[in-house]
Amino acid sequence: MPKFIYKAKKGPDEAVEGVIEADSENVAVNKLIQSGCYPISVREESVSAEKFSIYKVRSKDITYFTRHLSELLGSGLTLYNALNVIESQSESNNLKMIIGNIKSRIKEGKKFSEALKNYPAIFSELYVNLVRSGEESGSLNEVLMNIADFLDKDEDTRSKVIAALAYPGLMALVGFATIFILVTFIVPRIVNMFIDMGQTLPLVTRILVGISDFIKTYWILLAVFIAGLVFVLKTAKSNPLAKNKMDRIKLKVPVFGKLVRDTELARFSRTFSMLLKNGVPMLDALQVTSGVITNSAVKDDIDAVYKDVKAGMAISGAIRKRECFPLFVSNMAAVGEEGGFLDKALLNIARNYEIEMDRAMKIITALLEPGFILIMGLVVGFIVVAMLLPVFEISLTAR
C-alpha cells in the first residue's frame, strides 16, 4: 500500500509530522481528519526503481504472480482488483511492496507496462515488452499466461543444469578437501616417523613430501593466487572485448561448447517466437531477444541479424550469414517465413535444441562422474603407495 508523508495541526498549537498508509491521497486526508488532525500538506512518499532494486524477489514468486494475475484477469476481474487479490495472498513481503507501488501508479492513470518499467531488476525488458503488446492487443491475460509458461521453462532449464553439475561439484569439493587434509596433516606425521627411524625415503615418498612441504609453506600464496585468478576472470567479464574473446573460446570447447551454443539458440528461438506470437514487431523482437542472450559472441550475431533485417533482408537470409547459427536454423526460419508461421517454426527450433541440450547434459554428467572418481583414485593411490613403500622397505630390511 502506498505511503504518504504528512504535516498536520493537532490542536491550536501542536504540529505533527509522520507517514500514513492509504490507497490514495484523498483517503490519507480523510484518515487524518478522522484522527482529529487538520492536514497542512500530504504527499506520497517517492519510491524509486533504485530503491526497489535492492529487494530480491525469487523467480518462482514472479512466475506465481504472472500466472495468478493471468487467471484472475481471465475470470473477469479488473487489473487493479486482481493486483489487490495477489497482494493480499502473496507470502513475499518484497513482492507485496512492489505490487502496492504498481497499484498506485495504475491509479494515477499509468499503464501496467509503464509501472513495471520502474523495476528492471525484477521485470525484464522482455517481460515489459510482452505486457505492452498484450495491452495494445487487448489480450493481456493470454500474454501473461505465455510469459508464465516461458518463465517456467526457463527455470526448468536452469534447474537441470544445476542438478547435473551438483553431484560432480560435491565430489570435487569433498575429494580436494580430503587430499588437502592428507597432504598437509597426515603425511608429514607419518614421514617424520620414518625419518626418526633413520629410514631412507623412496623417490615417490620424497616427491609427496616435497608437495606437502610446498602446500604447508605457501598455502597463503596459493589462496591469494586463486583469489586473484577469480578476481581477474570477474573483471574480464566487465570488459566487453575480453568477455567477447572468452565467450568465443567457450563455444569452441568440446562438448561444453555445444551445450553453451544449444542453450543460447534455444533461448533465442523460444524468446523470439513468443514475442512474434504476441504481436511484437520483428525488429523490436530481435532487439529484446538480443538482451536475454548471455554469450556475447551469439549476441553479436543477433545484433548483426537485426541490422540486416532492418536493411530489408529476410530473417532466414540474415541468419544464414552468421557463424553461430547452424544451417538447420536458417532452413527452418525460411520454411516458417514462406508459410507465414515463423513463430511456430522458431518454437520447433527451440524444442529441438532443448532436446539436444538435455542430451549434452547427460553426456557431460556421464563423463564428469567417472572422470572425477578416476582422478581422485589416482591421487589417493599415489599417496597410499608413497606411504606404503617405506613400510615395505623396513619389512624387507628386517628380514
Give yes or no: residues 165 and 190 share one domain.
Answer: yes
Cα–Cα distances (Å) from 130 to 102, 125, 182, 217, 301, in that order, read 17, 9, 56, 58, 23
Give yes or no: residues 60 and 172 share one domain.
Answer: no
Give yes or no: residues 304 and 345 share one domain.
Answer: yes
Q: What is the CATH number of the domain that holds 172?
A: 1.20.81.30
> Helices 342-398 & 187-196, crossing angle to 10 degrees?
20
Mapped onto helix, strand or coil, the DSSP state of residue 18 is strand
Give yes or no: residues 30 and 63 share one domain.
Answer: no
- Please indicate, yes or no, if residue 144 is contained in any of the structural domains: no
Q: Say what the pTM is.
A: 0.65
- Please indicate, yes or no, if residue 138 is contained in any of the structural domains: no
- Please indicate, yes or no, if residue 245 is contained in any of the structural domains: yes
Give the residues across from 20 on adjacent strands: 4
Give yes or no: residues 214 and 362 share one domain.
Answer: yes
Q: In whole angstroms, give the CA distance from residue 88 to residue 68.
A: 12
- Please indicate, yes or no, if residue 196 is contained in any of the structural domains: yes
Give yes or no: residues 373 and 337 share one domain.
Answer: yes
Q: In whole angstroms, give the CA distance from residue 270 to residue 381.
A: 48
Q: In whole angstroms, give the CA distance from residue 64 to residue 42.
A: 35
Those residues with Cβ within 8 angstroms of residue 120's Cβ, 6 or more apart along the chain or in another chain? 49, 53
- Please indicate, yes or no, if residue 324 is contained in any of the structural domains: yes
Model pLDDT, residue 47 = 47
- Please indicate, yes or no, if residue 276 is contained in any of the structural domains: yes
Asked if 268 contacts 286 with a C-beta cutoff of 8 angstroms, the reply is no
- Please indicate, yes or no, if residue 147 is contained in any of the structural domains: no
Cα–Cα distances (Å) from 46 to 49, 50, 52, 168, 183, in that order, read 10, 11, 11, 48, 59
Give yes or no: residues 205 and 292 share one domain.
Answer: yes
Tell me how many domains the chain contains.
Answer: 3
Give yes or no: residues 258 and 335 share one domain.
Answer: yes
Q: Which of 102, 123, 144 is the last residue of a domain?
A: 123
Q: In whole angstroms, give the CA distance from residue 45 to residue 52.
A: 13
Give yes or no: residues 228 and 324 share one domain.
Answer: yes
Give yes or no: residues 97 and 158 share one domain.
Answer: no
Q: What is the CATH number of the domain that holds 20?
A: 3.10.20
Model pLDDT, residue 398 = 57
Q: Which domain holds residue 30?
A: 3-46
- Please indicate, yes or no, if residue 281 is contained in any of the structural domains: yes
For the chain, how many residues are written?
Answer: 399
Give yes or no: residues 176 and 94 share one domain.
Answer: no
**Closest by CA position to 117, among listed 68, 72, 52, 64:** 52
Model pLDDT, residue 13 = 67
> Is residue 244 exposed (0-12), middle (13-18) or buried (19+ Cβ within 10 Å)?
middle
Q: Average pLDDT per run of 10 along the chain, which is 399 residues long?
A: 73 74 77 80 58 65 91 90 89 86 86 87 84 83 88 80 75 80 78 74 83 81 88 79 86 84 88 86 88 87 92 91 90 90 92 85 78 83 82 68
Give the residues across from 10 on adjacent strands: 14
Give yes or no: residues 112 and 21 share one domain.
Answer: no
